[in-house]
Amino acid sequence: MVAGAPRIFVSHLAGVPVFDPTGDQVGRVRDLVAMLRVGGRPPRLLGLVVEVLSRRRIFVPMTRVTGIESGQVITTGVVNMRRFEQRPTERLVLGEFLDRRVRLVETGEEVTILDVSIQQLPARRDWEIDKYFVRKGKGGALRRKGQTLTVEWSSVSGFTLEEDGQGTESLVATFEQLRPTDVANAVHHLSPKRRAEVAAALDDDRLADVLEELPEDDQVEIIGKLQEERAAHVLEAMDPDDAADLLSGLPEEDKERLLTLMRPGDAADVRRLMSYEERTAGGLMTTEPIILRPDATVADALARVRQSDLSPALAAQVYVCRSPDETPTGKYLGTVHFQRLLRDPPYALVSSIVDSDLVPLAPDTPLPTVTSYLAAYNLVSVPVVDESGSLLGAVTVDDVLDHLLPEDWRETDFHGEEEIARGR
């Protein structure tokens, strides 16, 4: 759904089936999850509470929703089956918004919320609450006799957070406006108690992004205070190389326990990374670069590059390999850089424009050599290939910088986030 599309009222979503891209039913919508925000901004829609066939209720982020139409919801098919647990900063739209008594800002008149509409922001995957359908009157036995009207979200009071609040809700809502690096800088300056509260309130993906930017001591402290099942899910959401670095700082028994709780595929990637020396290409690489088969087209490559969850460094090139196309892959054939993708027609095969001139790095390549390689060829990412010619992963320039900068470089307060962390 984009701007200008028909408005979606949440009451129409209750009970509708949720399907994966192949047409198989995942479950049914039971509620929607929203987060209140500061600064007079409309509540943000985080995701759906979906009841799967086993009667378990799970959380499906809105970033996984590709379509809401004709009485059905279509998802990407990537669903976390962990049972949904509502966080302190979250509100259930059907359960907590509907039938709530609020006031109209302009007149102060009390009204009852009968329905809520949602809207997807243009050119983004974020969703917000758009309007409220309300009824005037006292409610109860008389609620059917009052006048009904649809009003903008800003016309109703009671659904925003105060800027000067000191609770976790306001703090987390303020963090929503910051990049993960800036959130990490602010969280670092919190007390251990407040750090734990913020970690408990953040969703798994957001917490994973923040952990990747924190010093190792903070990472170990936060992950150690989470319930083990949730800690495993947060580790799954992290980049494998960052998860491996974090786990390396834990006691052996804790490390093995968390790896056992992780999905087997994610755990295998992390174990493989932990088998390499830290300051080598194998220890620095991520196992999730963009990998395409030789028969993929430029259009296929550009679609992968456009994925919003990719870092700029990983999105700068695709790696062409024979099947299998997950690391370790089949034979590595070469790289296609983003600029080349923009210059060739969408129907061209990536195998016809692949750059095979640059020699990839071996996993035991030491950090100084990796750094020199990136600098010499003006690259932001470099492939790592084993003796058999299989692609193992890619080292990005940001991972190299992490090891070249002083250990305390994260202590710098870039933009005054320490004041935000203190609730000012």
Q: What percent of the chain has pLDDT over 90?
A: 39
Nearest of 307, 293, 281, 303 to residue 381 by alpha carbon: 281
Give the pLDDT score at 163: 42
**Please, which residues have CB within 8 angstroms of residue 175's CB and are 6 or more apart in sequence?**
183, 186, 187, 198, 202, 420
pLDDT band at 185 (very low <50, low <70, confident <90, very high): confident
* Spatial distance between the Cα atoms of 316 and 305, rounded to a whole number of angstroms: 8
The residue-averaged pLDDT of 75-81 equals 79
Pairing of strands 127-136, 72-75: unpaired
In angstroms, rounded to a whole number, what is the distance separating the alpha carbons of residues 224 and 254? 9
Is pLDDT of 123 > 90?
no
The confidence score (pLDDT) of residue 419 equals 40
Identify which of 304, 294, 336 has the alpha carbon closest to the alpha carbon of residue 317: 336
What's the CA gap between 421 and 153, in Å, rounded? 28
pLDDT at 264 over 60: yes
For residue 111, give the 3-state DSSP assignment: strand
Give DSSP secondary structure letters for 148-193. EEEEEGGGEESSSB-TT--SHHHHHHHHTTS-HHHHHHHHHTS-HH
What residues contact residue 75 under an 8 Å CB cut-off, 6+ apart? 18, 19, 20, 21, 26, 60, 64, 65, 66
- Three-state SS for 370? helix
Range scoring the smallest mean pLDDT among 97-111, 176-190, 386-400:
176-190
Q: Are 34 and 45 in contact (CB under 8 A)?
A: yes
- At residue 5 the predicted structure's pLDDT band, cuts being 50, 70 and 90, is low
* Dist. CA 370–CA 400, nearest whole Å: 8
Helix or strand run (H / E) with residue 102 = strand 101-104
Residue 420: pLDDT band (50, 70, 90) is: very low
pLDDT in tens, 339-378: 999 999 999 999 999 998 888 999 999 999 999 999 998 8
Q: Mean per-residue pLDDT for 28-40?
A: 83
Higher pLDDT among residues 137 and 320, named by residue: 320
The answer to whether residue 415 scores a pLDDT higher than 70 is no
The position carrying tokens 């307060």 is 413
pTM of model > 0.95? no
Answer yes or no: is pLDDT of 177 > 70: no
300-320 confidence digits (pLDDT tens) = 999 999 887 788 889 999 999
Between CA 168 and CA 175 the distance in angstroms is 10
Would you state the pLDDT for residue 208? 93
Per-residue pLDDT band for 395 (boundaries 50, 70, 90) equals: very high
Q: Which residues pair with 61 in a beta bridge?
A: 47
Given a cut of 90, whether residue 110 has pLDDT beyond it is no
Which segment of 6-10, 94-98, 157-161 scores lowest on mean pLDDT? 157-161
Q: Is 248 exposed, middle or buried (0-12, 13-18, 19+ CB in 10 A)?
A: middle
- Whether residue 335 has pLDDT greater than 50: yes
For 272-307, how does the pLDDT look when each residue is reduced to its tens digit (9 = 90+)? 999 999 889 999 999 989 999 999 999 999 999 988
Query: What confidence category does residue 160 fall into, taking pLDDT thresholds of 50, 70 and 90?
Result: low
- If pLDDT is split at 50, 70 and 90, which confidence band does 97 have? confident
Whether pLDDT at 416 is above 60 = no
